[in-house]
Structure 1
Amino acid sequence: MKIYLFLFIFCISKSAMAQLPTSEHDPWPLHRSQKALSDIIVNDIFSPPVASRIFVYANIAAYEVQVQNNSQFVSLKGQLNSFNGIPKADRKEISYSVAATYAYWQVAKRLVFSDQVALDSLSSILNWYKQKGYPKALIENSISYGKAVSDSVLKWVDQDNYKETRKLRRYSIIKKEGNWAPTPPGYMAAVEPYWNKIRPLVIKTADQFKPVSPPTYSTDKNSAFFLNAKEVYLAGKNLNKNQIEIAKFWDCNPFFLNVNGHMNFATKKISPGAHWISIAGIACKLKSFDYAQSSFAYTSVNIALFDAFISCWDEKYRSNYIRPETFINSHIDENWQPILQTPPFPEYTSGHSVVSTAAAHILTNIFGNNFAFQDDTEIDYGLPIREFSSFNQAANEAAISRLYGGIHYRPAIENGQVQGRGIGAHQAAELVMRRQ
């Protein structure tokens, strides 16, 4: 009788577990998590570098859980700087999808201001699992493991020097001809001047891909610098409809400030990194990637974005280069205004150029060179869909959009692309995430 009872209970357990495969590999929870976290980051108005930090650690936590149950992918343990991996699951009866999603949100929750919104998003996704028939005990076991993973990852996160940079003294503007100065309308303080002190992930140092120096500042009308400034000025005065659309599509400025008389208010926008994370999601859906495959793609792109911001910001505060708006107003046309609002940090190199090129390199490695897609990322912000024949085409458009927008000179764009390409190629060569 005891034997029959044991077999009966065992069969029920196996039957419950048999329900998992249909939804266990469904990527919806991960795609939903990326969008929900992006919305939180927009609402909390994190700077692009800080946003990249939030995204990458949450994705690494989810990816490392998936690796525990998928031989196609390789752990990042020992590959990322100072990363010693996560604890292995001590229970066989867990959902790696639930555990990964839970770990993702536990890490994200710690790194955002709207932690209750993060918990609400997690609760909504856990309800999805329940509706798919996941047994209560299975979910609880998975949550327990996800919590252990997030605790482990967060200990590593706490050692990346972020907290230390929060304690450094306020950045002092160096008043010298050719140096960056705050720009209208907000004249905001410098954003993340110490970001080069953050621990990178794959690159070893912030200056590993240091770009060539920009042209020397000069008011000589025949100098390379002046001619670059004049190019931005003339481009801004002669933009066609398509160029205006390109500039606005790739604006991605979380600091956009509306000024109406004495009233100022912010228009919240997605960060450039989040735009490329969205593109990664679009590609995953087009290729019908499952949860683990999507986690691999998201994590790969996020690592590239994170290192790209560190590298770019390292150069920004080294060269401390004047923005076109400041120079043009002082030496060419005091009434000229760029079509985009100038972001509050030095000009060289172009952040969009560096991060977009790095992300495009990684996505091309994953999905192929001629991967056509429709980018609907900006629909939420009132902008239409744009179509691209490849990730590199999109990256090139993102880069040149900064000249159309009037906020970067051409060398910052072109040398920024070289910088981003180097970061992407280095990651592709050094980081092994997928078995052949």
Structure 2
Amino acid sequence: MRLVVLTGILGVCLSQSISVQGQQKKTNIKSNEVATAWADMTLHVVKKAKKNSPTYGSRAIGYLGLTMYETVVYAAPGHRSVARKLSPGLSLPKPKRRKSICWELALNAGQAYMLKALYGYTGRIKPIDSLKQYIHDRYATGLKPKDVERSEKFGEAVAIAIFEWSKSDGGHEAYQRNFPYEYKRPRGEGYWIPPYHGQSSSKFPLHPNWGQNRTFSAQNGRLPVPKPFPYSKDTASQYYKHYKEVFERKKILTDEDRTIVMWWSDDPSETYAPPGHSYNLATIAIRKTQADLVKAAETYAKVGMAVADAFVNCWKTKFSFNVERPTTYIRASVDPQTQWNPWEPFFLEPPFPAFYSGHAVQSAATATVLTAMFGDNFAFVDDTHTSRPMLAYQVKNKLPDGAPTSENYTEYMPTFTDHTLIYKARPYKSFWESAKECAESRLLGGIHTRQDNEVGLGEGTKIANNINALRWH
């Protein structure tokens, strides 16, 4: 992902007048620079945000994408507002008839308002204001002041209405309660326990009530919760076999496998988390195809809302069953070793239950949306993490089985092999190829089973299809 390149923004306002019937005159809207500049700024702010989480981040891009679309939807004939399809009570402003609107200025004002409303707590307001002012200066030049004011007031009014609606979804200001200490997790065999060494030092799970939040698509809120395999120690059971596969797969990890794991790691403490990765894939598709302003906004809205709903539904399932991570089961039932040689995953476990995979469900949701927008065989290069610094890491070498004795004690002293990872852009033949690789990376990392990934891919497809089914045109 490249940070906002302000000099690449064109300064030609593609304004229109609204006719008496409320339909737009035809115009050739070519510019997507304002939309992609705000997407870049969104990821910049999210990456730097304190208390960043994939749950809150998914919600943010859902509302930002929706705001982007609703501020420009009247710019092109044949497009419809989806507000009433999301909620009968969500009433958004409409442009006044026979009054000119500069759609870039409307989008600019709406995104600035929404991004500050969602991430103002971070204190990173200056970059947002700088981008807003830059776009204002470029697009307001040559326009009548009253047309500029009307355009910006319209965009901000749309954002205000959507933000006020967002406050009732259950996730408002959720960054203030990432790890609620009052949550009581279930105890017993098969249940998730916080990792001793994980991505977070918290011994409480991330947003355990997130699954109770309102979804953008009401249909997604009604999808049945999938069920995991029943817990079993029987070596012939599906439960055992899926965890055993994780154990065996780690033995043969290659450097390419580890590269895949780290490319899709999307650690929220260092990146803009999985939702931001998906938002950037939308940007890549928009820029490659030179999509017009309205199609760009529609793409961000669909991806944002699909990813947001994916995390709500995923968390509903996670905390319905509280399924353990591979580490717990492998140590207890697959490879019970002494304290001298406990099994460890290649990648650190996140602070929430396993079933099903959040990476898989949101990647499938993204792939489903982008495939519908840009085609089945859309080849692209994912540059999301190319700005990350080189990563030096160590892989622990295998220790002897059993417990040490006085004669072989030194053999149990851990040794490590040094590795270096350079974050290079990764090419894909389709959005689904990248989604499947993302899901598989969770098994390679040792933190998810194949069932977690396969169910996630299936659920993400359903969720995105419900977003696609809204009346956009």
User: What is the TM-score with the length of structure 1 in the denominator?
Assistant: 0.86
How do residues 419-434 of structure 1 correspond to structure 2 at under 5 angstroms?
A: 419-428=459-468, 430-434=469-473
Distance in structure 2 (CA, Å) of the matches to 1:68 and 1:111: 25
Partner residue of 1:147 out of 153, 156, 166 = 156
CA separation of 1:24/1:38 partners in 2, compared to 1, >3 Å: closer, same or farther?
A: same
Looking at structure 1, the residues matched to 131 and 459 of structure 2 have their Cα atoms a distance apart, in angstroms, of 40
Letter in 2 for 1:336: W
Residues 9-408 of structure 1 aligned to structure 2 (within 5 Å): 20-21=13-14, 25-44=30-49, 45-82=51-88, 84-90=90-96, 92-114=99-121, 116-131=123-138, 133-135=141-143, 137=145, 138-163=147-172, 170-185=182-197, 186-188=200-202, 189-204=204-219, 206=221, 208-211=223-226, 213-254=227-268, 267-331=269-333, 332=335, 333=337, 334-382=341-389, 383-408=423-448
Please give the alpha-carbon distance, in whole angstroms, between the structure 2 residues aligned to 1:282 and 1:415. Answer: 27
Greater share of helix: 1
Deviations 1:282-337 (A, max 9, x none): 00111111221100111111111111111111100011000012222334145222
- Relative to structure 1, the CA distance from residue 141 to residue 354 in structure 2 (aligned partners, 3 Å threshold; closer, same or farther) is same
Is 2:220–2:463's contact at 8 Å kept on the other side of the alignment?
no
Distance in 2 of aligned mates of 1:19 and 1:404: 48
Aligned equivalents of 2:188, 2:122: Cα separation in 1 = 42
* Regions of 4+ moved over 6 Å: 164-169
Secondary structure of 2:195's aligned partner? coil
**Percent of matched pairs sharing the same residue:** 28
- Secondary structure at the aligned position of 1:321 is classed as coil
Q: 1:136 deviation in Å?
A: 7.2
Secondary structure at the aligned position of 2:387 is classed as helix
Contact 1:109 1:119 (C-alpha < 8 Å) held by counterparts: no
- Aligned residue for 2:206, secondary structure, equals coil
Provide, for residues 247-281 of structure 1, a one-character-per-residue CA deviation record: whole Å limited to 9, x for no partner: 11111121xxxxxxxxxxxx512211111110111
- Per-residue deviation, 1:46: 2.1
* Inter-partner Cα distance in structure 1 for 2:377 and 2:322: 37
Shift of 1:66: 0.4
Q: Please tell me whether the aligned partners of residues 181 and 322 of structure 1 are also in contact (alpha carbons under 8 angstroms).
A: yes
SS of 1:20's equivalent in the other structure is coil
Say if 1:19 and 1:32 are closer, same or farther in 2 by CA, change over 3 A. Answer: closer
TM-score, normalised by the number of residues in structure 2? 0.80
1:82 deviates by 4.2
Determine if contact 1:55/1:108 at 8 Å carries over to the other structure: no
After superposition, the C-alpha distances for 1:172-211 in whole angstroms (9 at most, x for unaligned) are 1222111011113244220111112211111435451422
Residue 117 of structure 1 aligns to which amino acid in structure 2?
R
SS at match of 1:177: coil
On the 8 A contact 1:200/1:310 being kept in 2, the answer is yes
Alignment CA distance shift 1:52-1:225 (3 Å):
same
CA distance in 2, matches of 1:325, 1:223: 18
CA distance in 2: counterparts of 1:24 and 1:423, whole angstroms: 30
1:376–1:386 Cα contact (<8 Å) kept = yes
Q: Following the alignment from structure 1 to structure 2, what is the Cα–Cα distance between the partners of residues 128 and 64?
A: 19
Native 8 Å contact 1:297 1:363 kept in 2: yes
Aligned to 1:261: none
Cα pair 2:14 2:102 within 8 Å, conserved: no
CA pair 169-181 structure 1, distance change in 2 beyond 3 A:
closer
Contact 1:207–1:314 (CA<8 Å) still a contact in 2? no
SS of residue paired to 1:89: coil
Amino acid corresponding to residue 53 of structure 1 in structure 2: R
Superposed displacement of residue 357, structure 1: 0.8
How far 1:139 sits from its partner (Å)?
3.3
| Structure 2 unpaired stretches of 5+ | 1-10, 16-27, 390-422
Report how far residue 395 of structure 1 moved.
Answer: 0.7
Deviation at 1:127, TM superposition (A): 1.5
Q: 1:240 to 1:31 in 2, by over 3 A?
A: same
Further displaced range: 344-353 or 39-48: 39-48
> Would the alpha carbon gap of residues 144 and 425 (structure 1) be closer, same or farther in structure 2, given more than 3 Å must change?
closer
The structural deviation recorded for 1:69 is 2.4
Give SS of 1:374's match.
strand
Describe the SS at the equivalent of 1:377. Answer: coil
